[in-house]
Chains A and B, each alone.
Chain A
Amino acid sequence: MITLNVNGNNYTVDVPPDTPLLWVLRDHLKLTGTKYGCGIGECGACTVHVEGIAKRSCVTPVGDVQGKRIVTIEGLPKNHPVKRAWIIEQVPQCGFCQPGTIMQVAYLIAKYPDPSAEKIIREMDDIICRCGTYPRIKKAIKKAISLSKRGVKK
């Protein structure tokens, strides 16, 4: 039995400990916002936060994250600056990769509130969008940074 803390809720699932976190989230907990892209940690569609750090859930064995705080796209608040920025800039096209992209950006701006262009590129470089929404992703990252700074001032 594996015990998981996801979005503030505790779950117990009966799966082998080497099962990737992605499939436990999707098939067992029915949290299907986290997407399956490549299955080898190369595309970023499956990105979630584990103890506040962005992780590719498709290559994270569930046994390694027992008892750790896991946050998925469903657990990121609706009024989170990144989610708001994504709607303002109308980022998604097909939308499949976007939950993972949003989680990566949420991690980026939490860790580096004022990231340099190189920092952004380094952190976002292995996030792949097949529709090619990169120009809107770039605009939305800038928007999210300004929204979160405004939030801090209040």
Chain B
Amino acid sequence: MREIKMTRRSFLKTASFVIAVSFTPFGTRIINASENKETIEKFKPTIWYEITPDNMITIYFGNSEMGQGSMTALPMIVADELEANWKYVRVKQVGADDAFKSPILGAQVTVASASVRGFYEPLRKAGAVGRVMLIKAASEAFGVPEEECFAKLGTVIHRKSGKKMTYGQLVRRASKLPIPDNPPLKEDKDLRYIGKPMRRLDIPEKVEGKATFGLDVDIPQMAYALVAHPPAYNAKPLSYDETGALSVRGVKKVLKIPQGVAVLADDFYSAYKGREALNVKWDEGSHPYMSSEYIEKYFVECLDKPGFVAKKVGDTEKALSQAKKYMKQLIMYLM
């Protein structure tokens, strides 16, 4: 078994405050798990997952799934070390929580291919912790040495007798054990999910229309705001019809903010109609000449000025003079 030295922040940090966002057909409900009165029996040795008596393994995901697949990639790492059966793995999005910040970015964001890079070692270790504890729990239940037991796809098996217990059956016993500091990790050859093409965990709910996107978040008494943005750099509103916007049904407030003029309403469409009614008149801003045409003209002019040599290979002048065919074309790259 191979060991990975943990030098980063503790992966075992137990969250005292977990916000779980669950998906329901009627939008997002935010559940404060620490205030949840229902005490469901579960084995939760780290913040990253919990196992319940029904054998389900719920893995918590603190990044954003925007189509890159991290909502599947990170659970794969946990599930592999935990020796979980993928059929019983589900993923749950968590809200804003310092414990879920990326070890390499120091923030809870999904950028720069940092999800797997940042969480690979902590999550492998977190998964290994659970596997080691479940094996120990089963060996106690069987009354045999720990070394004679091994984990396979959500079950602990006693090698000699063939006795088995599922992870779900071990929840209570495992919860009482001390959490190991340095659990051994799997050998690369024993990896089951890492490096394999897996089906994305977020796809079924996206196909059902149940995934919660930013605009789908629904909090009781929430207001919707739309902002009238300036049409030119740093343009400021000279005038706008606040009374007109406020007379639109559902509009609650009009606010001048550094980015423009915001209209707050009970629902999106009322805010939209309110913004239409604002009829903002803007000054010309700090760069009134700036336009797509101006930028294009500027770039084309730059082509005639001496440039910066990034790379030089061979004799271009000579090659061009000897070329059989010469083609000139201007291609604008969208900026």
Determine if B269 is an interface residue (Cβ-Cβ < 8 Å).
yes
| Contact (A27, B269) CB under 8 Å given A35-B213, A36-B215, A95-B203 | yes
The answer, yes or no, to whether B210 is at the interface (CB within 8 Å) is: yes
Q: Which residues of B contact A30 (CB under 8 A)?
A: 26-27, 218
Q: Are B27 and A87 in contact (CB under 8 A)?
A: no
Within residues 17 to 67 of chain A, which ones have a CB less than 8 A from any CB in chain B?
Answer: 19-20, 23, 26-28, 30-36, 39
> What does DSSP make chain A's interface, helix, strand, loop or mixed?
loop
Q: Is the CB of A94 within 8 A of B269?
A: no
Kindly state whether residue A102 has any CB partner on chain B within 8 Å. Answer: yes
Cβ of A12 under 8 Å from chain B: no
Cα–Cα, bound, A128→B208 (Å)? 19
Map CB proximity to B onto A95-122 as digits: 1 under 8 Å, 0 otherwise: 1101100100000000000000000000
Interface 1/0 per residue, B258-274 and A, CB below 8 Å: 00000000011100100
Main secondary structure of the interface of B (DSSP, over half): loop
Nearest-neighbor residue (CB-CB) of B24 within chain A: A30
B217 to chain A minimum Cβ distance, whole angstroms, is 9
Query: Is B211 an interface residue, CB under 8 A from the partner?
Result: yes
Total A residues in contact with B, Cβ cutoff 8 Å: 33
> Given A32-B218, A90-B199, A131-B67, A23–B268 Cβ distance below 8 Å?
yes
Given the known interface contacts A23-B269, A28-B267, A131-B67, the answer about A92 and B215 at a Cβ–Cβ threshold of 8 Å is no
- Residues of chain B with a CB closer than 8 A to A74's CB: 25, 208-210
Known contacts A30-B26, A131-B67: A92-B207 contact under CB 8 Å:
yes
- Determine if B117 is an interface residue (Cβ-Cβ < 8 Å): no
Residues of A within 8 A of B218 (CB): 30, 32
| Contact count band on B | 20 to 34
Partner of B209, one of A20, A33, A93: A33
Give the docked Cα–Cα distance between A27 and B269 (Å).
9
Which of B27, B215, B224, B249 is A16 in contact with, Cβ under 8 Å? B249
Least Cβ–Cβ distance between A75 and chain B, in angstroms: 9
Which A residues are in CB contact (< 8 Å) with B267?
23, 27-28
Contact check, B268 vs A36: say whether CB atoms are below 8 A apart. yes
Q: Are A87 and B269 in contact (CB under 8 A)?
A: no
Q: Complex Cα distance A97/B212, Å?
A: 13
Q: Which 6 A-B pairs have the closest CB atoms?
A: A33-B209, A95-B206, A73-B209, A94-B67, A93-B67, A23-B269
Residues of chain B at the chain A interface (Cβ within 8 Å)? 25-27, 66-67, 199-200, 202-204, 206-213, 215-216, 218, 224, 249, 267-269, 272
Given pairs A27-B268, A72-B209, 18 additional interface contacts (CB within 8 A): A20-B269, A30-B27, A31-B25, A31-B209, A32-B209, A32-B212, A32-B216, A35-B213, A36-B268, A74-B208, A87-B204, A87-B207, A92-B200, A92-B207, A95-B207, A95-B211, A96-B213, A102-B207
Interface set of A (CB-CB < 8 Å, partner B): 16, 19-20, 23, 26-28, 30-36, 39, 72-74, 78, 83, 86-87, 90-96, 98-99, 102, 131
Enumerate 9 A-B pairs (CB-CB under 8 Å) in ascending A order.
A27-B267, A27-B268, A30-B26, A33-B208, A33-B210, A34-B209, A35-B213, A36-B215, A90-B200
